[in-house]
Structures are given as structure tokens and as C-alpha cells.
Amino acid sequence: MAEAERLFRERGYERVRMIDIAQAAEVSEPTLYNYFPSKEHLIFDMDQELEERIVACIKGVAPSKALVEAVRKESLRFLGDLSRSGAGKPTGIPLSVLQSEALQRVWLQMNSRIAHRVAETLLAESKPRISRITALILGRSIVAVFAVILEEFGAGRLSGRSAKRLRQEIQSAVNQTLDNLGASVGRA
């Protein structure tokens, strides 16, 4: 919801009430609650987009080096998009997650839900078939790459580091981690 995002960026997450968002969006407060059960859910309105992005990058890719490369390509694209967006501003979404226990709980629930969807996709599409446990481990690992990118970018911006420098550091870490994972997959 564009109005909520605008208010969060202008005032900061903690200073925005649901009634403020409803008024800015020109809807009643009960209507807003029909779509978003809490303010925390508003900030994660992008969770479907992130879920679809991750699932799309693994569809049709067997658990192999090709899967590692698909995750690398999309996670680095995600990092680029994040560093070009306003998400690293002091009132941006990644920073808000770091500063609120309520948002951290919703963030963890969201990561778990997406990881299960990734695991289900891997189970449905893997040839040869993989076990449920393998799919769950892969699902959580893949989602962790994106989650750590978002969290570390937010933490770095909160501490005053430049988006450009953070992007370089995170990209290097992602590449190193996925290189190691790819080498392990190659030995399996």
C-alpha cells in the first residue's frame, strides 16, 4: 500500500498509526483492518512479491549446481534492486524490521512460510525426486540468502554505511557462500 509506505518513510514506522494510514488512503479504519490485520502486516505487503521472486528463480531447476546459480543470479538482482530503492533510509522497511520486535516476529513467520513454499516447489518439480527433509533444508537455505541480504543491508544503512559499499560487501559474501555451496553440490 503506497500510502502506508510513504507515511513510514516520512515519519518512521513507530510514529504511524493505522488511523493515519486509513485517512491517507481515504478508507475507513475497519476497511484497512479487513485487509491488514495489523500494522506489521502492512510493512510486509511485499512478502508475496518476494515469495514469487524466489519461487520463480527455482522453478524447473533441479537441486544441483544449476540451482545454486539460479539462486545466485536472483539474489544478486534482489540486492541490486534493494540498493537502488529507498529501503536503506532510516525509515525504510529493512531498518524498521531491525528496530521493532513485533516486526521481527512477522519477518520470521514470513521467512518460514516462504521457505515451506520453496520446499513444496522443489518437491513437486525435482527430478530425480528429493526427500521432504532435503527440500525443507534447501527451502530454508534459499530463503536465508534473501533474508540475510535484506537484514544486513538494513543493519548497514542503520549504522550509516553507504549503499554502494554494502552492496559490494554483501555481493562478495553471497558469491563466496554460494561458491562453497556449489562446490559441495558438485561433490555430492
- In this structure, the answer to whether residues 86 and 145 fall within a common structural domain is yes
Task: State the pLDDT at residue 69.
Answer: 93
- In this structure, the answer to whether residues 96 and 110 fall within a common structural domain is yes
Helix (H, G, I), strand (E, B) or coil at 75: helix
Task: State the pLDDT at residue 90.
Answer: 44
Domain span including residue 25: 2-42
Task: State the pLDDT at residue 91.
Answer: 41
Q: What is the CATH number of the domain that holds 11?
A: 1.10.10.60
Task: State the pLDDT at residue 98.
Answer: 63
CB 83 within 8 A of CB 153: yes
In tens digits, the chain (188 residues) has pLDDT values of 678 878 877 887 778 899 999 999 999 999 999 888 888 777 766 677 889 999 999 998 877 888 999 999 999 999 998 888 755 444 445 666 666 777 788 888 889 999 999 999 999 988 778 899 999 999 999 999 999 998 888 888 878 899 899 999 999 999 999 999 888 765 55
- In this structure, the answer to whether residues 130 and 91 fall within a common structural domain is yes
Give the chain's domain count: 2
Tell me the C-alpha distance between 181 and 95, whole Å.
29
Q: What is the CATH number of the domain that holds 54?
A: 1.10.357
Tell me the C-alpha distance between 60 and 121, whole Å.
9
